[in-house]
């Protein structure tokens, strides 16, 4: 490590800017630790932006008797509805039951009853059964051999924005948060670790008493940087892929939980104001670099087959040509090689090791929904290793942008500046939350900021994304700060890329 100058020391270095690294950084900073977070790419640029966009208990985990995981998830779901109301919204799921399915209505009704009990107190509607008239009016759902349709509620989110909200909250509490900051080496010291960083092209060295490896599918690579990492646990890399279809006419408001022949679950979820349908996910063992994960032709065919088995469109079955977008994320799960990928538990596992008065914690598994609770487990692990930290504090504490109830937020958007179209104000409200006031104030001070770089994309929004949210590329903005990648045409996307190339 010669030739570098020591610039700073930290209590904790968190490696990974996905949802779990973000949650650990936030929790640790709020307990008084001096925290740095290093993300080699963009925030949430891997698994944390490639989920099914759900904040849910995980109905299928009941079948595996993981009651504690489901209960924890449902408690966290209720909390997120309050702490990030701009990003979390309830949605009704329909569960159609056909004669050919192995799981029949009685068994599933029992599962939903348990789900209701475990979610007691969250104010979401109870599960139930649609009446025959409602079933007959469901658009496109095949009616042949259909015995009944059950319903229950869960929640949707923008996973990348949720990760960013946690990160920005961590930054507001003093954590040193930065993307394009890659860890290049880790060397054990007497009481902690020395770390080399490549920070947007600049070489830097820091010291940290503790390290938390929350790098998702790269946990093995990071642990391999030092002999002073925790003992390895069995790691399974499981790819989950999704396809996106344009919403058929008439649009559907409900999501669906579908069963396939192998008793897996596939979701069909309305997305982006019912403009699209998300169909996913798969569970496939992943080989190779997780950064190169893509939805394979086999996964596309599987998801199309699952969709077409349940739905009949006026224009015929959905086909490859109807897919407008795909994504794939790789989950780093703690599981043995004998278990089917779809049956490997999503419960997190931690590995830890002391190094002098410091230590190293590696995180496996975990769910988007339970990120806050998992961060508390990591903090307990750090305390066991000798970290002097305060007690838990994050429960029911608002996330960045989440101070206003959704109804009040939308009311403020409705009465915002007339120079901004109503649909843009609404999109801003449900993207930036209470920070919409920052955008409004910028525009009031400099009216020219409402100039559009692309249809529906103002200079005010682009500059805010760069200055306040670390967006460095058009992809950062189009895919993760927003979802405009799907809403703009080719010319609009090109205009945003040109702006980042010349003005950002």
Looking at 2.40.160.20, 2.60.40.10, 3.40.190.80, 3.30.9.10, the CATH number of the domain 235-334 comes to 3.30.9.10
Q: Give the tens place of pLDDT for each residue, 230-267.
A: 999 999 999 999 999 999 999 999 999 999 877 789 99
C-alpha to C-alpha distances, 104 to 130, 259, 378, nearest whole angstrom: 15, 11, 40
Beta pairing partners, 181: 199
Secondary structure E strands in 300-441: 323-334, 349-355, 358-364
pLDDT of residue 121: 79
- The pLDDT-based confidence of 347 (bands split at 50, 70, 90) is confident
- The pLDDT-based confidence of 2 (bands split at 50, 70, 90) is very low
pLDDT of residue 1: 43
User: Among 116-120, 372-376, 482-486, which is the least confidently predicted range?
Assistant: 116-120
CA distance 219 to 107: 38
Whether 195 shows a pLDDT value over 70: the answer reads yes
Q: Give the tens place of pLDDT for each residue, 474-503.
A: 999 999 999 999 999 999 999 999 999 998
Whether 362 shows a pLDDT value over 60: the answer reads yes
Place of tokens 């960013």: 164
CA distance 486 to 271: 11
- The pLDDT-based confidence of 64 (bands split at 50, 70, 90) is confident
Exposed/middle/buried for residue 123 (C-beta within 10 Å: 0-12, 13-18, 19+): exposed
pLDDT of residue 343: 73
- The pLDDT-based confidence of 4 (bands split at 50, 70, 90) is low
Whether 169 shows a pLDDT value over 70: the answer reads yes
- Helical segments of 31-131, H only: 67-83, 105-118
Whether 338 shows a pLDDT value over 80: the answer reads no
pLDDT of residue 185: 98
Looking at 1.10.3720.10, 3.50.50.60, 3.90.1150.10, 3.40.50.410, the CATH number of the domain 6-47+161-234+345-384 comes to 3.50.50.60
pLDDT of residue 499: 98
pLDDT of residue 6: 53
Average pLDDT over residues 174-181: 98
Whether 324 shows a pLDDT value over 50: the answer reads yes
Instruction: Provide the residue ranges of all domains of the chain, joining segments of one domain with +.
Output: 6-47+161-234+345-384, 235-334, 406-502
Q: Give the tens place of pLDDT for each residue, 22-36.
A: 999 999 999 999 999
Q: Give the tens place of pLDDT for each residue, 83-98.
A: 999 999 999 999 999 9
pLDDT of residue 437: 96
- The pLDDT-based confidence of 387 (bands split at 50, 70, 90) is very high
Q: Which residue has the higher pLDDT, 250 or 103?
A: 250
Q: What percent of the chain has pLDDT over 70?
A: 99
Average pLDDT of the chain to the nearest whole number: 95
- The pLDDT-based confidence of 9 (bands split at 50, 70, 90) is very high
pLDDT of residue 313: 87
- The pLDDT-based confidence of 5 (bands split at 50, 70, 90) is low
Whether 420 shows a pLDDT value over 50: the answer reads yes
Omega before 403 cis (within 30°)?
no
CA distance 451 to 447: 8
């Amino acid at each position: 490590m010669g030739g570098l100058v020591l610039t700073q020391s930290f209590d904790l270095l968190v490696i990974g800017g996905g949802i779990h690294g973000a949650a650990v950084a936030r929790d640790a900073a709020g307990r008084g630790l001096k925290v740095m977070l290093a993300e080699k790419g963009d925030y949430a640029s891997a698994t944390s932006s490639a989920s099914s966009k759900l904040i849910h208990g995980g109905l299928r985990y009941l079948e595996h008797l993981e009651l504690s995981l489901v209960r924890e998830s449902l408690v966290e779901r209720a909390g997120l509805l309050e702490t990030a109301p701009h990003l979390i919204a309830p949605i009704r799921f329909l569960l159609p039951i056909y004669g050919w399915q192995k799981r029949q209505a009685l068994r599933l009704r029992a599962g939903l009853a348990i789900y209701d009990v475990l979610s007691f107190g969250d104010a979401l509607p109870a599960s139930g059964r649609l009446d025959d008239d409602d079933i007959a009016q469901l658009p496109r759902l095949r009616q042949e051999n259909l015995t009944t349709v059950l319903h229950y509620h869960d929640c949707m989110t923008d996973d990348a924005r949720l990760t960013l909200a946690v990160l920005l909250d961590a930054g507001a509490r003093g954590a040193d948060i930065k993307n394009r900051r890659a860890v290049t080496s880790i060397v054990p010291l007497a009481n902690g670790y020395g770390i080399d960083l490549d920070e947007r092209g600049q070489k830097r060295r820091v010291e940290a008493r503790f390290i938390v490896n929350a790098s998702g599918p790269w946990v093995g690579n990071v642990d391999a940087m030092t002999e002073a990492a925790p003992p390895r646990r069995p790691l399974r890399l499981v790819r989950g892929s999704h396809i996106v279809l344009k919403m058929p006419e008439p649009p559907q408001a409900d999501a669906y939980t579908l069963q396939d022949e192998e008793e897996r679950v596939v979701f069909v979820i309305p997305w982006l104001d019912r403009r699209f349908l998300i169909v996913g996910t798969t569970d496939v063992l992943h080989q190779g670099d997780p950064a190169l994960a893509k939805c394979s032709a086999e996964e596309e065919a599987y998801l199309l087959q699952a969709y077409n088995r349940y739905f009949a469109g006026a224009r015929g079955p959905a086909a490859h040509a109807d897919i407008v977008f795909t994504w794939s994320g790789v989950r780093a799960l703690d599981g043995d090689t004998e278990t089917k990928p779809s049956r490997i538990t999503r419960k997190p596992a931690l590995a830890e090791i002391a190094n002098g008065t410091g230590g190293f914690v590696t995180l496996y598994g975990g769910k988007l929904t339970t990120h806050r609770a998992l961060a508390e487990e990591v903090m307990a692990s750090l305390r066991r290793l000798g970290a002097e930290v305060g007690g838990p504090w994050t429960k029911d504490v608002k996330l960045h942008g989440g101070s206003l109830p959704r109804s009040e937020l939308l009311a403020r958007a409705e009465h915002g500046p007339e120079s901004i179209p109503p649909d843009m104000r609404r999109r801003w409200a449900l993207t930036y939350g209470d920070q919409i006031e920052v955008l409004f104030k910028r525009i009031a001070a400099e009216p020219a900021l409402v100039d559009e770089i692309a249809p529906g994309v103002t200079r005010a929004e682009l500059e805010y994304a760069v200055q306040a949210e670390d967006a460095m590329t058009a992809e950062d903005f189009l895919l993760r700060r927003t979802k405009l990648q799907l809403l703009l045409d080719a010319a609009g996307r090109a205009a945003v890329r040109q702006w980042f190339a010349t003005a950002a």
